[in-house]
Amino acid sequence: MNQVVDQPTEKVNLLDFDRQGLRDFFAQLGEKPYRAEQVMKWIYHHLEDNFENMTDVGKTLRAKLEASCYIGPPKTVFDKAAADGTHKWLLGMDGGNAIEAVYIPEPTRGTLCVSSQVGCGLNCQFCSTATQGFNRNLSTAEIIGQMWVAAKYLGNITHQNRRITNVVMMGMGEPLLNFDNVVKAMSLMRDDLGFGLASKRVTLSTAGLVPMIDKLSETIDVSLAVSLHAANDELRTELVPLNKRYPIAELMAACNRWLARKPRTSITFEYTLMKGVNDQPEHARQLIKLMRRMANCKVNLIPFNPFPGTRFERSDATVIRDFQTQLLNAGVLTMLRRTRGDDIDAACGQLKGQVLDRTRRQAEFRKRLDEGVIHAV
Ligand code: SAH
């Protein structure tokens, strides 16, 4: 015999809302918009996840919130500190999946590296996340939740004791393939009632999804980084298969449109240096030629970080230095990214998390990419 049980209506995770979403949700509850903003401050300034403790929110509203929603950051499976102070969190998602977020402290700033997808479907040859395949997009709550968890751990206080001064969407996944959720999460990073970071301190890194770069420039004010890794199409297609769909000329055109729309900004081009692959003087010359046509850009050289099973190796230190010098001598602003946290596999391209059920989803993803559906994502 079936028993009739009252099904509780599904509670809503408030971390899924940006400011407007939160106001709309409060309107549905019959509450004034300023109430939403009050609660938003509790969530992001005081890092409070218990309505009980929101002392300036009336009892009746607290009870209403308790009944209809919750504040649900991802659960920490484990966290680990590297010898250099870098901190990595493995955060549990649904169904045994897990993603990683990394905090990189430096003397003048603290950067949080945030993931956007469980795994990644782009299959860049030198990236450890690629070997995991793709499972799914992260929700807004799961993206901003990474920052919430790190901020809470670090004792971050917005506008006072900022431990996280910068966020880079450079963790697992391709952020532009999870556009809406990533944009909502970044708007919470930027919002004064959220984490209150300036546009130049929130950076989205992409492997080069041209139409989405245009869309991003029209949607939100953040900084852009582009994973280049090679300045000729043949080599770039080998390293970053997405280049086949959006070759370098199209990518650079999109970057120039970005700069035209945001005249006072610059774009960072990431270039991972792999021994004998893309680190020779001729590669530097190609890169210089390409950068000459880009106003206001900088190159960020990343020494390759190895991971089990990779066929690539890190370039020798002298080769890296020579490569940088060649660019600098040609007037290209070039930084060398220091390798951080590699003793806990937290460095660029080493994030793996745990991705279940990847084969089927990977196959679906490939099919969609082949069909060109990704244009419409
Ligand atoms: N999908 C986005 C976000 C990932 S960002 C993108 O491609 O930009 C991660 C950065 O680290 C990218 O620039 C990526 O190309 C780089 N990277 C990936 N694997 C790496 C590795 N093994 N060593 C060093 N850098 C790596």
CATH code of 123's domain: 3.20.20.70
The token pair that represents 94 in the structure block? 């649904």
Residues with CB under 6 A from ligand 1: 124, 126-128, 170, 174, 205-207, 227, 270, 272, 302, 304-305, 348-349
187 is in an annotated binding site: no
Establish how many alpha carbons lie within 13 A of residue 71's alpha carbon, considering only the half-sphere containing its beta carbon. 21
pLDDT at site 374: 38
CA 286 to ligand 1 centroid distance, Å: 20
Q: Domain of 43?
A: 12-70
- Clarify whether residues 119 and 16 are in a common domain: no
Residue-wise pLDDT tens digits, 339-351: 778 777 777 777 7
Of 31, 69, 100, 113, which residue is the catalytic one? Answer: 100
Rg (alpha carbons) of the chain, rounded to whole number: 22
Residue-wise pLDDT tens digits, 298-337: 999 999 999 989 999 999 999 999 999 999 999 999 999 8
pLDDT confidence bin for 296, thresholds 50/70/90: confident
- Clarify whether residues 112 and 235 are in a common domain: yes
- Clarify whether residues 140 and 53 are in a common domain: no
The answer to whether the beta carbons of residues 293 and 248 sit under 8 Å apart is no
pLDDT at site 1: 43
- Clarify whether residues 111 and 245 are in a common domain: yes
Question: Is 4 among the domain residues?
Answer: no
In this structure, the number of other CB atoms found within 10 A of the CB of residue 79 comes to 17
Asked about 66 being catalytic, the answer comes back as no
- What is the arithmetic mean of pLDDT over 28-35? 96
Q: How many domains does the chain have?
A: 2
CA 340 to ligand 1 centroid distance, Å: 14
Residue 59's CATH number: 1.10.150.530
Residue-wise pLDDT tens digits, 189-246: 999 999 999 999 999 999 999 999 999 999 999 999 999 999 999 999 999 999 999 9
- Clarify whether residues 198 and 252 are in a common domain: yes
What is this structure's pTM? 0.91
pLDDT at site 377: 26
% pLDDT > 70, the chain: 91
- Clarify whether residues 189 and 40 are in a common domain: no
- Clarify whether residues 157 and 44 are in a common domain: no
Of 69, 113, 297, 348, which residue is the catalytic one? Answer: 348
CA 274 to ligand 1 centroid distance, Å: 12
Residue 365 scores a pLDDT above 90: no
Atom of ligand 1 nearest to the CA of 173: 1
Question: Is 175 among the domain residues?
Answer: yes
Nearest to 198, CA basis, from 150, 173, 162, 226 = 162
- Clarify whether residues 162 and 236 are in a common domain: yes
Question: Is 2 among the domain residues?
Answer: no
- Clarify whether residues 54 and 88 are in a common domain: no
Query: Which residue, 52, 70, 88, sits at the end of a domain?
Result: 70
Residue 373 scores a pLDDT above 60: no
- Tell me the residue length of the chain: 377
297 is in an annotated binding site: no
pLDDT at site 3: 46
The answer to whether the beta carbons of residues 126 and 349 sit under 8 Å apart is yes
- Clarify whether residues 336 and 293 are in a common domain: yes
Q: Pinpoint the alpha helices (H) of 99-247.
A: 140-154, 179-190, 210-219, 233-239
pLDDT at site 23: 98
**Nearest CA, atom 17, ligand 1:** 349
Report the chain's mean pLDDT, rounded to a whole number: 91
Atom of ligand 1 nearest to the CA of 310: 22
- Clarify whether residues 193 and 61 are in a common domain: no
Residue 368 scores a pLDDT above 70: no
- Clarify whether residues 49 and 139 are in a common domain: no
Asked about 100 being catalytic, the answer comes back as yes
CA 210 to ligand 1 centroid distance, Å: 17
Nearest to 118, CA basis, from 362, 355, 370 = 355
Long-range CB contacts for residues 57-63, cutoff 8 Å, separation at least 24: 61/31, 61/35
Residue-wise pLDDT tens digits, 126-179: 999 998 899 999 999 999 999 999 999 999 888 778 899 999 999 999 999 999
